[in-house]
Amino acid sequence: MSQTVVSPTTHSSRSADDRHKARVAWFDQITIDDVASVGGKNASLGEMYRNLSDAGVRVPNGFATTAEAFSEFLSRNDLNQRIEGILGGWNGEDVDDLARRTREIRSLILGSDLPAELVVELIEAYRSLSRQAGIANVEVAVRSSATAEDLPEASFAGQQETFLMIHGEDEVMDAVRRCFASLYTARAVSYRRHMRIGEEEIALSAGIQRMVRSDLASSGVIFTLDTDSGFRDVVYLTGAWGFGENIVQGRVIPDGFYVHKPRLRDGFVPLVGKTVGPKELRMVYDDQANKVVNERTPAVDRERLCLADDEVLSLARWSVAIEEYYSNVRGTPTPMDIEWAKDGRTGELFIVQARPETVHSRKTAAQVMRVFRMDERGAVLATGLAIGDSITTGVARTIADPKDMNRLKEGEILVTEITDPDWEPILKRAGGLITERGGRTSHAAIIARELGIPAIVGAQGAIHAVPSGTSVTVSCAEGEAGYVYDGVLDFSVEEVDAANLPSTRTDVMVNLGDPSLAYKTAMLPSRGIGLARMEFIFASHVGVHPLALTRPEMLSPEDRVLVEQATVGYDDPTEFLVDKVALGVGTLAAAFWPRPVILRFSDFKTNEYAHLLGGEVFEPKEPNPMLGWRGASRYYHPDYRDGFELEIKAVRRVREQFGLTNLKVMIPFCRTPEEGRKVVAVMAENGLVQGVNGLEIYVMAEIPSNVLEAEEFAAIFDGFSIGSNDLTQLTLGVDRDSESVAQLFDERSAAVKRACAMVIAVARTHGRKVGICGQAPSDYPDFAEFLVQEGIDSISVTPDVIAKTVKIVAEVEGR
């Protein structure tokens, strides 16, 4: 059966009077200005249906009841004063009393008749939609849309009901009545009271939309920003098998995708993030029982992504078009919260809902950033996905059912399996939230962001692992993972006001290897990444030795099985490494675009490489790995070259397919100029050519030979990055890991400073860039002063001391 968009001219043959009924309006008649009549969801669907088809955005056709129809329904049944009287007695605090009162209101509504005129118009519209589909009693979704919802300042996430797989005139009438009743759930009334929206200010519209059979395929949620940091240059898309309610309610952890908007607009394919979620359940339609049910997702579907790459990119392009359109309409940047669905019968993608995002859209770039940092660690009780980037402490309180919400005291940490809108009255009391299920776009995550409380979702086993009544620390400030620590631990908060930081000649950059911190860190006032460590991505995203993928015949049978398990879903096991590295590096480059990102190729020592899966068979046992087979010496060596070539392939993907040409590369532990030339040659032979598309190749200045032969190295490379740790160790002959000589390790020693000065001078003479990637400039203001006086171009430090370092550098430059 064809599932195509009906032309907006479908109803043009009707008279003007027919096409402008007061009680029912078709999507092709609705604009964004009709919010007061048909609610936020339906107004946005109409606006997209009318104006975004040229951008390829596909919206299922349908129609909506108007606010006038709802008002007429209430007045015809004498419900207004009765509802006012029932709610008038609520004190605003007693949630049990509110639940009783709202049940009484819903009972009144469900027992009332729809006005005859509305019934006639609904039947006429439903029959017309069925004729368009060529099906008697076409399947539809009936969605509630309140006239005060989906505003930039209030999401009303899940407040009213949606009914799926409705077919037949009687079912449509019943679903519309149930939509009307859902305006008066306890959660909806409580939410309106919390947002200070009066009952007299709101009405409800029921949108009747051609059903997209995503139960036979997949569906999900899209945000046109990173939901945790508010970073606006990405589209974040989630998806799972079946109808999308499981994602919205947090019953499953979905697949996740990130697409970089600026390079997408430029025609590249910057799909920089892909994560397979477990997708434990899928919501489907049971034909025999004539109802929507949840079932376990088959194992094969849990292990694969629910969308192909080209489908993700299509949805991302639509999302960018929707965001741009609404930003123009509203005259201000408007990040969007969008729902999508794929029809399993036709393979077509659809947008079924769009509304303004309600948390980060209220923030301005000039706002002060608060940077949280754990100052001590304790026993980890549970871990899951971090929502937000803050830290809190409090008493954990396990509650299984919202009926027991009075047990939660103000500021306590709520621990539960899952939340839905029924929990919202209690969430306003919570100081933090921990749920065993859910993903980044689940109800719990959305409301936690809106309330400004840290949350950890998908923390499996948390109910048993976090004893109710015990004090805990909830940390969402350590990257993608959130941690529940036992006890009250120390943490600190730094306020960073970028607008008031002084400007500097010297670039202050950041050291960063963890892609999960990229979007948050990119919002700090740095001028790029001065050191991105490849080995962090190897350890956290790959975990397999590169040669175990290029030479699997050398593995033991046991390791071969483990490698096959790790690379499931990849026809070519080497593509596993290239894909994982490209996604990790691509995330860093996308976050900081167009600022430079300097990636250091892998610099594991042999003992560290051996710890990767399958690594022991390929790595020699060296008495001193620090001075052994590491860095540049591996890249051209026949015993490792094919492993390095995979890194090159990943870098090429980031620069050429993703379009992120701000990515530069750096060679570590390059002992001689001849070694440098060999590495550059290997890169060129594999298509990564110095100077092409602006590619710059840097070298670490961390060995005395880099200093003494700096002019020779300057003839090969585009710049230097002083590695102060190794340079100090090797200049002073001090093992930095030895407690016996630890007191002798000092970057400020005369010999080390002289070495730094020599490299800086040569770089300046030869027009090469030179920076330093180490903590010393932040720890020792006098060392920063020395570097600035010598004319260093950049100083790269950890994210937590960016603001401090900028101030130090500005003060030195001022003197």
In the prediction, which pLDDT does 149 show?
Answer: 54
Amino acid identity at 608? E
Q: How far is CA 460 from the centre of its chain?
A: 20
The CA–CA distances, whole Å, from 17 to 13, 21, 118, 703 equal: 11, 7, 15, 83
The lowest-confidence range among 16-25, 190-199, 413-422, 603-612 is 16-25
Tokens of 577: 């490494």
Q: What is the mean pLDDT of residues 721-729?
A: 92
Q: By the 8 A CB rule, do 312 and 269 touch?
A: no
Most confident region among 356-360, 507-511, 539-543, 736-740 by mean pLDDT? 507-511
Cα separation of 5 and 717, whole Å? 56
Q: Which of 125, 28, 26, 106 is nearest to 66 (CA)?
A: 26
What confidence score (pLDDT) does residue 738 get? 77
* 663 against 445, higher pLDDT: 663
Q: What six digits make up the tokens of 597? A: 């990102």
Where is pLDDT greater, at 537 or 661? 661
Q: Positive or negative, the Cα torsion across 683, 685, 688, 692?
A: positive
Q: How confident is the model at residue 355 (pLDDT cuts 50, 70, 90)?
A: confident
Lowest mean pLDDT among 397-401, 523-527, 701-705, 778-782: 778-782
pLDDT in tens, 219-256: 999 999 999 889 999 999 999 999 998 998 888 999 99
**What's the Cα-to-Cα distance from 668 to each of 366, 527, 634, rounded to whole Å?**
38, 22, 10
Query: Residue 730 above 50 pLDDT?
Result: yes
Question: Quick one: pLDDT band at residue 20, thresholds 50, 70, 90?
Answer: very low
H or E stretch at 373: strand 369-374
Q: Output the DSSP codes for 577-600.
A: HHHHHHHHHHHHHHHHTTS-EEEE
What's the token pair of residue 259? 């697409």
Instruction: Give, for 164, the enclosing helix (H) or strand (E).
Output: strand 162-166
Secondary structure class of 414 (helix, strand, coil): strand
Checking if the pLDDT of 10 tops 60, the result is no
pLDDT (tens digit per residue) in 254-294: 999 999 999 999 999 999 999 999 999 999 999 998 899 99
Model pLDDT, residue 361: 72
For residue range 71-101, list pLDDT tens digits in order. Answer: 999 999 999 999 999 998 888 778 788 889 9
Give the residue among 706, 720, 697, 714 at the shortest CA–CA distance from 771: 720
d(CA 585, CA 567): 19
Task: Kindly state the helix (H) or strand (E) to which residue 730 belongs, with its residue range.
Answer: helix 724-732
Find, among 800, 808, 773, the residue nearest to 524 by Cα.
Answer: 800
Residues 418, 433: Cα–Cα separation, whole Å: 10
Q: How far apart are CA 379 and CA 631, in angstroms?
A: 36
* 113: pLDDT strictly greater than 50: yes
Measure the CA–CA gap between 635 and 639, rounded to whole angstroms: 9
Tell which wins on pLDDT, 665 or 246: 665
The alpha carbon dihedral of 725, 726, 731, 733 has a sign of positive
Tens digit of pLDDT for each residue in 132-151?
999 999 999 999 888 765 44
- The pLDDT confidence band at residue 369, using thresholds 50, 70 and 90, is confident
Residue 17: what pLDDT? Answer: 42
Q: Is residue 127 pLDDT above 80, yes or no?
A: yes
Three-state DSSP class for residue 783: helix
- Per-residue pLDDT, averaged over 586-601, amounts to 98
Least-confidence region, from 32-41, 523-532, 686-695: 32-41
Residue 56: CB atoms within 10 A of its CB come to 11
**Between 369 and 654, where is the model more confident?**
654
- Going by pLDDT thresholds of 50, 70 and 90, the confidence category of residue 365 is low
- Summarised one tens digit per residue, pLDDT across range 636-656 is 999 999 999 999 999 999 999
The number of CA neighbours under 13 Å toward the Cβ of 165 is 16
More confident residue, 682 or 191: 682
pLDDT digits (tens, 9 = 90+) for 440-449: 878 888 888 8
For the segment 586-599, the average pLDDT, to the nearest whole number, is 98
Neighbours of 599 (CB within 10 A): 26
Residue 690 is predicted with a pLDDT of: 98
Out of 349-358, 360-369, 630-639, least confident range: 360-369
User: What token pair was written down for 42?
Assistant: 């339906």
Amino acid at residue number 480: E
pLDDT value for 367? 57
How, if at all, do strands 255-260 and 234-241 pair?
A: antiparallel
Residue 564, pLDDT score? 95
- pLDDT 10s digits, 482-522: 999 999 999 998 887 777 888 999 999 999 988 988 998 99
The three-state (H, E, C) secondary structure of 734-780, written as one string: CCCCCCCCHHHCCCCCHHHHHHHHHHHHHHHHCCCEEEEECCHHHHC
d(CA 726, CA 670): 12
Q: Where are the alpha helices (DSSP H) in 518-640?
A: 518-522, 534-537, 546-550, 557-566, 573-592, 606-609, 632-635
3-state secondary structure of 601: coil
Record the pTM: 0.86
Sole residue written with tokens 């590495």:
679
pLDDT band at 159 (very low <50, low <70, confident <90, very high): low
Contact 791, 760 (CB under 8 A): yes
Question: Is pLDDT above 50 for 603?
Answer: yes
pLDDT of residue 190: 81
Write down the pLDDT at residue 426: 78
Q: What average pLDDT does the structure give for the chain?
A: 90
pLDDT at 160: 67
Residue type, 682: V
Order of strands, edge to edge, in the sheet holding 162-166?
A: 24-26, 62-65, 204-210, 140-146, 162-166
Best-predicted range by mean pLDDT (350-364, 396-410, 691-705): 691-705
Residues forming the active site: 443, 773
Share above pLDDT 70 across residues of the chain, in percent, rounded to a whole number:
95
Residue 387 reports pLDDT greater than 60: yes
Q: Cα-atom radius of gyration of the chain, to the nearest Å?
A: 30
Residue positions counted in the chain: 815
The residue type found at 770 is V
Where residue 15 falls among pLDDT bands split at 50, 70, 90?
A: very low
pLDDT digits (tens, 9 = 90+) for 744-767: 888 899 999 999 999 999 999 999
Q: In whole angstroms, give the CA distance from residue 751 to residue 753.
A: 6
Q: Measured over all CA atoms, what is the biggest interatomic distance in the chain, rounded to whole angstroms?
A: 93
Closest C-alpha among 372, 369, 553 to residue 474: 372
Beta bridge partners of 142: 163, 208
Residue 587 pLDDT grade (very low, low, confident, very high; cuts 50, 70, 90):
very high
Counting runs of H as helices and runs of E as strands, what totals does the chain give? 31, 30
Helix axis angle, 169-181 to 95-110, nearest 10°: 150
Residue 309: pLDDT over 90: yes
Specify the pLDDT at position 800.
79
CB-based contact 645:677 (threshold 8 Å): no
